[in-house]
Structure formats: C-alpha cells, structure tokens
Amino acid sequence: MSATDTRIWRQATTVAAINAQSQNTLAATLGMVVTELGDDFVRATLPVDSRTLQPFGLLHGGASVALAETVGSIAANLCLDPATHMAVGLEINANHLRAVRSGSVTGTARPLHVGRQTQVWEIRIEDDRGRQSCVSRLTLAVVERPH
C-alpha cells in the first residue's frame, strides 16, 4: 500500500466475488446484493418484499439487522489476512428510525474502529429516497482461523 492509498482493505476482491461467496447463505435467501466497495466502505441492498416484510406490511427489523450484520461482517473481514484471521460478531444493536413498506433499502458499513482484537462498524440503512430507516453498530472479535 502506498502512502497515498486510502483503502483500508487487506484483501483484493471485487463486488462480483463477494456476491458469489454469498450463494446458499441467508444473504442470498433474503436477496441481499453487495453493490459497491469503496476505499473505506461496503454497500449492499436488500429488497423490501415478501421475504423481508413483517405481518403489518413493514420491513422487518430483523431483516434490517441481518443486512447490517452481513455488510459489516464483509467489511470487517476485508480488513484482515484471510489466511490467518477472521472477524466474528460479538454484539449488534439497531435503532429503527423510519418504516419502509416497499422498494429496497441500502446499507453502508463504515469503520469506527479497526483494531487487532476488535472492530466496530457503523451501518446506516436508507430507503430508495435516501431517508435513513435504521442505524446499527456492529462489534466483532478478531480471531485466529482454525488450522
């Protein structure tokens, strides 16, 4: 990494590669798709449809949390050497700020702390009109990969 490189990732990857890894997972079942990998953020979308609604016709809070944990975990693991370490969730919280009834939501994960033993990520979720519907904070432990 050069002195002018602002990317925080320790792994070279692409959006297509990340989405391919999500096949046969909760993310794929719910329709999550990573759409952008910036220098210091990961962005993904989630459809608001029959898979993600609660009985009152609103986006289920658990679906928002699943999006937050997915995009935050992807980002956290991109900051690590995958041959030796991985990040695993310790705690997640979410504040649901606005109901969403249709369309899709977009979650963007940005780091608050990327340390050797823990990481903390903030995930902001917005509706199709750019209105914030949820804010979440994900704390992960950095652990050695089993041999």
CATH number for the domain harbouring residue 33: 3.10.129.10
Is residue 8 a part of any domain in this protein? no
For residue range 22-68, list pLDDT tens digits in order. 999 999 999 999 999 999 999 999 999 999 999 999 999 999 999 99
Is residue 59 a part of any domain in this protein? yes
Please determine, for residue 71, whether its predicted confidence score (pLDDT) is greater than 60. yes
Query: Do the Cβ atoms of 133 and 109 come closer than 8 Å?
Result: no
Residue numbers of the domain that contains 91: 15-144
pTM to 2 decimal places: 0.94
Is residue 3 a part of any domain in this protein? no
**Catalytic residue (choose from 69, 91, 126, 144):** 69
Q: What is the mean pLDDT of the chain?
A: 95
Which one has a higher pLDDT value, 6 or 122?
Answer: 122
Is residue 5 a part of any domain in this protein? no
Write down the residue that tokens 């997640």 correspond to: 92
Calculated CA dihedral for residues 18, 108, 104, 16, nearest 10 degrees = -20
Under the banding of pLDDT at 50, 70 and 90, the label for residue 2 is very low
Amino acid at 69: E
Q: Based on the residue annotation, tell me whether 69 is a catalytic residue of this protein.
A: yes
Please determine, for residue 146, whether its predicted confidence score (pLDDT) is greater than 90. no
Is residue 114 a part of any domain in this protein? yes
Q: What's the total number of domains in the chain?
A: 1
| Residue 78: HSE in the Cβ half-sphere, 13 Å Cα cutoff | 26
Q: Which residues, other chains included, contact 122 with Cβ-Cβ below 8 Å and sequence gap of 6+?
A: 109, 110, 111, 112, 135, 136, 137, 138
Q: Tell me, what's the pLDDT at 5?
A: 56
